[in-house]
């Protein structure tokens, strides 16, 4: 399907009623004359229709006559013992871990075993650790940010923010061009 990359997202915002004022009028005017955008909105419409139909048809099959009773049952049930609640919370937390606890634990155990065995060898720990300390001279050279190129449709002001030395690009506004 041919699409209109510039307006695709804006057309979707228009469809969702999230555009207002002059921008809304402009996008509406564009969509009225753009075949790709018209097709895109029609596809969005159809997508909404089929999704809504599917969900509605599934919900229609559900018997809600005992829904409230089942909720009441949950509210009236005696509270679970603390160890059962702990186990449920643990299972919930575990389900949220992307890699799994066993993998992390195994990795840590393997590492500790390796370290303990290393401690019996003549391993130069100090020089190994010193390789992780930052080189101060390199920090001085590369702590400055550099703007390599800049193009703008309007007047800009440039300076470095004094606390973190981060570059600031200030684009003057037609309404209020004052640089702070």
Considering only 127, 130, 131, 146, the residue that binds other proteins (CB under 8 A) is 146
Binding status of residue 179 toward other proteins by CB under 8 A:
yes
The residue with tokens 């139909």 is: 53
Considering only 2, 4, 30, 32, the residue that binds other proteins (CB under 8 A) is 30
Total of residues contacting other proteins (CB under 8 A): 92
- Among 153, 150, 169, 152, which residue's Cα sits nearest to residue 161? 169
Binding status of residue 90 toward other proteins by CB under 8 A:
no
CA-based radius of gyration for the chain:
31
Considering only 2, 33, 57, 83, the residue that binds other proteins (CB under 8 A) is 57
β-partners of residue 157 are: 170
Binding status of residue 84 toward other proteins by CB under 8 A:
no
> Which residues 102-141 are close enough to bind other proteins by CB under 8 A?
103-104, 107-108, 111-112, 114-116, 118-119, 125-126, 128-129, 132, 138
Neighbours of 8 (CB within 10 A): 13
- Among 65, 9, 76, which residue's Cα sits nearest to residue 37? 9
71 vs 84 by CB, closer to other proteins? 71
HSE at residue 97, side-chain half, CA atoms within 13 A, is 13
Binding status of residue 37 toward other proteins by CB under 8 A:
no
């Amino acid at each position: 399907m041919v699409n209109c990359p510039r307006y695709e997202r804006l057309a979707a915002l228009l469809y969702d009623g999230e555009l207002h004022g002059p921008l809304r009028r402009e996008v509406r005017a564009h969509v009225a004359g753009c075949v790709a955008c018209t097709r895109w909105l029609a596809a969005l419409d159809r997508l909404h229709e089929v999704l809504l139909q599917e969900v509605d048809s599934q919900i229609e099959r559900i018997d809600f006559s005992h829904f409230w009773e089942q909720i009441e049952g949950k509210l009236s049930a005696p509270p679970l013992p603390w160890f059962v609640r702990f186990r449920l919370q643990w299972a919930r937390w575990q389900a949220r871990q992307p890699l799994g606890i066993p993998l992390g634990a195994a990795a840590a155990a393997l590492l500790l075993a390796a370290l303990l065995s290393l401690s019996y060898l003549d391993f130069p720990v100090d020089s190994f650790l010193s390789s992780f300390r930052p080189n101060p001279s390199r920090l001085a050279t590369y702590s400055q940010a550099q703007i390599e190129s800049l193009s703008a449709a309007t007047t800009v002001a440039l300076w470095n923010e004094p606390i973190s030395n981060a570059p600031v690009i200030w684009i003057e506004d037609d309404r209020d061009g004052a640089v702070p």
